[in-house]
Amino acid sequence: MTQITDHLAEIERRVSDCLIHNQREHETVEIVAVSKRHPASAVIAARAAGLTHFGENYLQEALGKIEAVDDPDIEWHFIGQLQSNKTRPVAETFSWVDTVDRARIAERLDAQRPASAAPLNVLIQLNLDAEAQKGGVSPDECYRLADRIAELPRLRLRGVMSIPQAGQPDAERRARLLEVTAVAAELRSRGHTIDTVSMGMSDDFELAIECGSTMVRIGTALFGERG
Ligand SMILES: *Cc1c(COP(=O)(O)O)cnc(C)c1O
């Protein structure tokens, strides 16, 4: 518990140093605590330390944990690959889906979002490495998908997210991260009012912030190694 508090203090210090070094000291970066394969007790400890955004990849694991934690002030992000036959529980339970990459998924989430809930926040997942096994769309597909999402009343497009290829040299990773920020800027110039660029994980969040990230997804650096 105290360990999570210490880890969070260290991450927050590094985020704010990084913002200062990049002349972004008046901005904030949201921390999404990635709690996959960590127990509900870890979420409760991180919540007590002040975090409100939590990310989960695996639907069954997430649903059990969300029920166990039972905290209405948490904003849960679905950050895994979403199959179209699994959209209903996601639309009913989560506040964000960070990995939307198909019109069909967006349309189902829109149709299944309960009327009593706020619109579902969504990010479009970009895949700039053209890795076939990974989800995500190209920039051109992203602009088309954003126009479609804008027509769906129960969804609120908040921005883009990306998971860069593991093991890339720094220079290449930087180029990819800058491209994500450029796609977000292009969405804005096309009239989409978005506020979120989600990129950066435990190993690269400072580089991601340097390249324009507004939301980092941190697992290991906060909770330790996954079980
Ligand atoms: C697991 C995961 C993370 C967190 O990764 P760490 O390296 O543990 O910080 C972030 N984003 C996504 C999409 C993930 O699946």
Whether the predicted pLDDT of 106 surpasses 90: yes
For residue 227, name the pLDDT band (cuts at 50, 70, 90): confident
- Residue with CA nearest ligand 1 atom 11: 217
Whether the predicted pLDDT of 1 surpasses 70: no
The DSSP-derived string for 172-207 is: HHHHHHHHHHHHHHHHHHTT----EEE---TTTHHH
Distance 218 CA to ligand 1 centre (A): 6
101 with 124: CB under 8 angstroms? yes
Distance 221 CA to ligand 1 centre (A): 10
Render pLDDT for 11-33 as a digit per residue (tens, 0 to 9): 999 999 999 999 999 999 999 99
Alpha-carbon distance of 205 to 215, in angstroms, equals 9
49 with 31: CB under 8 angstroms? no
Share of the chain above pLDDT 90, in %: 93
Q: Pocket around ligand 1: residues whose beta carbon is below 6 Å from it?
A: 34, 36, 57, 79, 163, 201-203, 217-221
User: Mean pLDDT over residues 182-188, rounded?
Assistant: 98
Residue 166 has a pLDDT of 86
How far from 102 is each of 49, 55, 106, 198, CA to CA, in Å? Answer: 36, 20, 6, 18
Measuring CA to CA, which residue among 179, 198, 95 is closest to residue 138? 179
For residue 149, name the pLDDT band (cuts at 50, 70, 90): very high
User: For residue 128, what is the DSSP state?
Assistant: S
Measuring CA to CA, which residue among 50, 54, 73 is closest to residue 65? 54
User: Mean pLDDT over residues 69-89, rounded?
Assistant: 97
